[in-house]
């Protein structure tokens, strides 16, 4: 199921690529969705975030995240190297400005998996300058989300409670996004996202005056 509302304007100086921002509460399956999309679309690229947290089991530096210490992160932010940055559960996360803009100039579709505040920063910084579509993944229910977090066995009960509390706050911000998709079935979620992106792309190509009409779908 999806709900959408898209309204962007294109200009002659826009890069040819498309920026796809994907957000979701922790445990909602955002990483799995991104991995599946990249597997199905090898020409798409994922912007690898920089973070100050330690790697989880199986995570690799330069593939899952760029792991840096706090002073290094602060230097990157002060030099304007980050398109967006946010503090999440006492750890800093950020996105390389040059990677995103260079990839868009090359005509690539770039997936950016970030939180709500990061999305606001991206919209403020790039809104109207690049073709941008924002998607928020919703869990079927808070109970299902808790079950998924507990099933990961990577957080303590107290940490899970904090993540659930944060998730409930984030869900309230879902209307800020162009589209929302309930991630109940992975294949259906992938299909819904692909359709939303294809429709966005069709509107971009077919629009003579660069104005896309708002709409809602279910």
**For 155-203, how does the pLDDT look when each residue is reduced to its tens digit (9 = 90+)?**
888 888 988 998 899 999 999 999 999 999 999 999 999 999 999 999 8
pLDDT at 163 (0 to 100): 87
Closest residue by Cα to residue 56 from 159, 125, 146 = 159
Residue 153 confidence (pLDDT) above 90: no
Residue 39 confidence (pLDDT) above 80: yes
CA distance 202 to 218: 19
Which residues, in sequence order, are CB contacts of 208 under 8 Å at separation 6+?
none
pLDDT at 8 (0 to 100): 46
Calculate the CA 77 to chain-centre distance. Answer: 20
User: 212 pLDDT band (50/70/90 cuts)?
Assistant: very low
Average pLDDT, the chain: 86
Query: What average pLDDT does the segment 60-89 reach?
Result: 91
CA distance 55 to 182: 28
Residue 24 confidence (pLDDT) above 70: yes
66 with 49: CB under 8 angstroms? yes
Residue 73 confidence (pLDDT) above 70: yes
User: 87 pLDDT band (50/70/90 cuts)?
Assistant: confident
Residue 12 confidence (pLDDT) above 90: no
pLDDT at 13 (0 to 100): 60
pLDDT at 147 (0 to 100): 87
Residue 116 confidence (pLDDT) above 80: yes
**What are the counts of helices (DSSP H) followed by strands (DSSP E) for the chain?**
7, 10
């Amino acid at each position: 199921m999806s709900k959408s509302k898209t309204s962007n304007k294109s200009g002659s100086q826009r890069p040819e690529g498309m920026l796809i921002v994907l957000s979701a509460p922790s445990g909602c399956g955002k990483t799995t969705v991104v991995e599946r999309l990249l597997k199905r679309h090898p020409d798409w690229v994922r912007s690898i975030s920089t973070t100050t947290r330690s790697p989880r089991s199986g995570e690799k530096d330069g593939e899952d995240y760029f792991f840096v210490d706090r002073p290094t992160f602060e230097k990157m932010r002060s030099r304007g190297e980050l398109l967006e940055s946010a503090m999440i559960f006492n750890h800093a996360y950020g996105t390389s400005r040059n990677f995103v803009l260079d990839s868009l100039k090359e005509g690539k579709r770039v997936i950016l998996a970030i939180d709500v505040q990061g999305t606001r920063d991206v919209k403020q910084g790039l809104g109207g300058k690049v073709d941008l579509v924002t998607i928020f993944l919703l869990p079927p229910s808070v109970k299902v989300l808790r079950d998924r977090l507990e099933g990961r066995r990577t957080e303590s009960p107290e940490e899970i409670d904090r993540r659930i509390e944060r998730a409930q706050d984030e869900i309230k911000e879902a209307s800020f996004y162009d589209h929302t998709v309930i991630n109940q079935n992975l294949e259906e979620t992938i299909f819904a996202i692909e359709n939303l992106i294809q429709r966005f792309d069709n509107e971009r190509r077919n629009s003579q005056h660069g104005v896309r009409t708002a709409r809602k779908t279910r």
